[in-house]
Amino acid sequence: MEKTDANTIWLTQEAHDKLRAELDHLVNVGRDEVTAAIAAARDEGDLKENGGYHAAREEQGQMEARIRQLTDMLRRAEVGDAPDDPDEVAAGTRITIAFDGDTSDTDTFLLGSREVLGLDEAADDINVYSPQSPLGSAILGRRRGDEVTYTAPNGKPISVTIVKVEPFRS
């Protein structure tokens, strides 16, 4: 897989197909269903005290936000497989870092997105960092052994050394 920039979202073909199917369902079925629910609730009368109407409008807002999110993710997506033998940090790889060069203080995580990689509830024990996060963007494209310093959300600089880069297998 080629190196991607921090705005690219890496997807497996399976995850891409799943997200595309969800988007198609929301656009082609979900919108009609929520529109019908709003119309039915509107026919019940006074909209100020109509809980069904307000619930349907809330559902519509959440659905439209999800449609926008999926559309954006699919627009920025790069479809492919995780590298089999990664030489550098890329989305879809499992990374082990050591903090401040201390090999006893390490963290192993997946660089990507839980949603787009198709991770389910059974994969809750896997830490996932976005390539757009401060740590993710600092190590993206780097190699094993590289030392990187990034600024944490609290403003403090944190130095890490990339100890291991390996393909992610769910």
* The pLDDT value given to residue 107: 92
Structure confidence at residue 149 (pLDDT): 95
Instruction: Write the pLDDT tens digit of every residue in 102-115.
Output: 778 899 998 877 66
List the domain boundaries for the chain.
9-79, 93-167
Q: List, for residues 10-59, the tens digit of each pLDDT value.
A: 777 777 888 999 999 999 999 999 999 999 888 887 777 788 888 999 99
Mean pLDDT of 124-129: 78
Report whether pLDDT(66) > 90.
yes
What pLDDT, on the 0 to 100 scale, is given for residue 80? 72
- What is the model's pLDDT at position 20? 94
pTM assigned to the model: 0.62
CATH 3.40.50.920 assigned to domain 9-79? The reply is: no
**If you write DSSP's letter for every residue of the chain in order, what string do you get?**
-----TT-EEE-HHHHHHHHHHHHHIIIIIHHHHHHHHHHHHTTS-STT-HHHHHHHHHHHHHHHHHHHHHHHHHTEEE-PPPSS-SB--TTEEEEEEETTEEEEEEEEEES-TTTTT--GGGTTS-EE-TTSHHHHHHTT-BTT-EEEEE-TTS-EEEEEEEEEEE---
Q: Give 84's pLDDT tier (boundaries 50, 70, 90).
A: low
Report the CATH number of the 93-167 domain.
3.10.50.30
**Would the pLDDT of 1 be above 50?**
no
Least confident range of 9-13, 61-65, 95-99, 109-113: 9-13
Q: Please name the residue that has the structure tokens 């629910």.
A: 37
